[in-house]
Amino acid sequence: MATTTIRLDDKLKKELSKELKSMGLSINGYFNLAARQLVIQKKVPFELVTESEVPTETTRRALVEAEAKELGIIPDDSPSFANINDLKDFLDKE
């Protein structure tokens, strides 16, 4: 069997080892499992996600306002348009 070296950041390797150990897997076992699944499925065998980010104050307020309008807590007085021409007319008035 050929040996391949994989470089991992020390912090990532420590976190990865901890998570895999709780599942009864080693890092080597995990990479073999993932590689076999990629070959079988012909795609990355898991969902790719990013770390969630904490929204800024402006974003958080916008989300709260949107939910409040959706729930009818505050009136939604935003203009709506049936077609693009109505939108253009509205913007031209501004």
pLDDT tens string 71-92: 999 998 888 899 999 999 999 9
Is this structure's pTM higher than 0.75?
no
Query: Is residue 82 a part of any domain in this protein?
Result: yes
CA 78 to chain centre: 29
Q: Give the residue among 5, 27, 7, 24 at the shortest CA–CA distance from 16.
A: 27
The span from the CA of 84 to the CA of 90, in Å, is 10
Please give the chain's pLDDT, 94 residues, in tens: 788 899 999 999 999 999 999 999 999 999 999 999 999 999 999 888 887 778 889 989 999 999 999 999 999 888 889 999 999 999 998 6
Angle between helices 27-41 and 10-22 (to 10 degrees): 80
In a domain, 25, yes or no: no
Alpha helices, H only, the chain: 10-22, 27-41, 57-70, 84-93
Residue 24 belongs to a domain: no
What pLDDT does residue 62 have? 92
Q: How many domains does the chain have?
A: 1
Domain containing 89 equals 66-93
